[in-house]
Amino acid sequence: MDENFLQRVHAMVRAATAEDQAFSDLMPQVMKESQGLPPVVLNTAMLKMGEGITAAPPNLGCWLAIMVGAWVENGATTFGVDEPVLNKALDVAGTAAAFAEAWRKATGGDPPSPSEGRPSQEIVDTLGPHLPDPVAAMLAWFAMERFALSAGTMLAKSADLRAGISDREGKAALTGGLAEHCEQMGWVAGLLRVLDGERLLVLDRESGHGWTVTIGGIGDNFQLHTLLAGALLGRPGGLPGTPPEAEIIACFLDAETPPGRPIITSPWNLVDAHGEWIYNEGVPADIPAVNGTRVVVLDPPPYERSFPAGRRYPLLTGSLDLNGMHLPEDLNGWWPHISPVRS
């Protein structure tokens, strides 16, 4: 059965890259059959699927991307498909951005919904005077949601993929600029900014103590805030206080959120080295660096702040490792660079 499945995958990929009508029959067959296969079998098809995603036109390749995204969420490897999916999603995003700009220039209004609209000759005629290849732009526009869904899965599940991203902020700006039309592109933008293996210096203004931590896979500062509390409160070499319960910490790392999404009370106000608040809605990549190191200052909360437990990106595994503690005398060279908190 495994060999038959692989033969159908190869036939489906050939049909997609050749724009053969057989694709419309093969794709649902492979999708249905794959639902009953273990990840180890699906893994053997990933390289071929990656080739198809790269070579097929976006209106067909997006279905291959959706398929491998589902396989990965069910336990298959990202190897062989993570880079092809992300690269194609970014390529489609660039073309889709040109589509939106040309549409506004041609009509003065918003472009059609990429999820509810459909390709048409009318769209091609509208864009024709403004784009060198209006058909390709149209196909990219209506494929971007599916590519974004798959790219979000690959970015969440593959730390290696995230680590290899160049021009992270530029790509996040491109995909984030499409979020008004395609919510999933906004999620891709956020995942592109996730830091891995990033060392932070955490300073407690009241005691003068500090800690070096290494973070990875943290989707927002709610998560950072909670994991810092778990690492420091009531721990040897940490700070006085009661840490969040173990099940709360776990759901900010890799576990499912407890039923009802428990509410957490914030123990601190997080501030950067310039005295500006580090808002929980932001991300660690927003925290400015001093001498190459991002600095987080712990201050008393000006008011009680609470938020529900859980990760912004449920497929993304978070981590925060405590590397070491620094006594006040160890930090004499740092405090002159740290501004008082701004109201």
pLDDT at 68: 98
**What are 276-286's pLDDT values in tens digits?**
999 999 999 99
Provide the angle, in degrees to the nearest 10, between the axes of the packed helices 134-157 and 82-107: 140
pLDDT in tens, 134-168: 999 999 999 999 999 999 999 999 999 999 999 99
Strands 289-290 and 269-271 come out as unpaired
Residue 94: burial class (beta carbons within 10 Å; 0-12, 13-18, 19+): middle
The residue-averaged pLDDT of 242-250 equals 96
Residue scoring higher pLDDT (157 or 266): 157
pLDDT of residue 19: 97
Helix spans in 158-290 (H) = 159-163, 168-176, 183-192, 221-232, 246-251
Beta-bridge mates of residue 299: 269
Confirm if 152 and 191 have CB atoms less than 8 A apart: yes
Q: pLDDT tens, 279-337?
A: 999 999 999 999 999 999 999 999 988 999 999 999 999 999 999 999 999 999 999 99
Cβ atoms of 153 and 315 within 8 Å: the answer is: yes
Whether the predicted pLDDT of 103 surpasses 60: yes
Answer yes or no: is pLDDT of 36 > 90: no
pLDDT at position 293 is 96
Measured in degrees and rounded to the nearest 5, phi and psi for residue 209 equal: -80, 165
Ramachandran class of 197: left when φ > 0, alpha when ψ lies in -120 to 50, beta otherwise:
left
pLDDT of residue 1: 54
pLDDT digits (tens, 9 = 90+) for 54-98: 999 999 999 999 999 999 999 999 999 999 999 999 999 999 999
Angle between helices 2-18 and 46-55 (to 10 degrees): 10
Q: How confident is the model at residue 2 (pLDDT cuts 50, 70, 90)?
A: confident
Residue 207 pLDDT: 95
Alpha-carbon gap, residue 231 to 301, rounded angstroms = 18
Average pLDDT of the chain to the nearest whole number:
96
Residue 3 has what pLDDT?
A: 87
CB 222 within 8 A of CB 312: yes
Cβ atoms within 10 Å of 189's Cβ, excluding its own? 22
> Strand (E) positions, the chain?
196-204, 210-216, 263-265, 269-271, 289-290, 293-299, 306-308, 319-326
